[in-house]
Structure 1
């Protein structure tokens, strides 16, 4: 019973983070688009959002 409760809680947390867009996906150079004024103050811009550029 306890394992099922913990599993459900972890699954719920993961679903919440993904739906909120908090999950970080590595950004590669071929996904980067040109920045406009007011875009992301850190990292690079992609059609889906912004974040740090993957170094390798």
Structure 2
């Protein structure tokens, strides 16, 4: 089994910064979260408020 790799740069992870290899890679990941780089795309409904909404 191979050692875990840093998700940012691919180097082996460091115990103090797991799952990253360094404080720099941990900070890069944090910056991506804070800037919205890790956003889940949403699909808007074209029907409006909802299918179960009462019609007036």
* TM-score, normalisation: structure 2: 0.35
* TM-score, normalisation: structure 1: 0.35
Q: Which has the higher helix share?
A: 1
Question: Which of structures 1 and 2 has the larger relative contact order (alpha carbons within 8 angstroms, sep 6+)?
Answer: 1
Higher Rg of the two aligned structures = 2
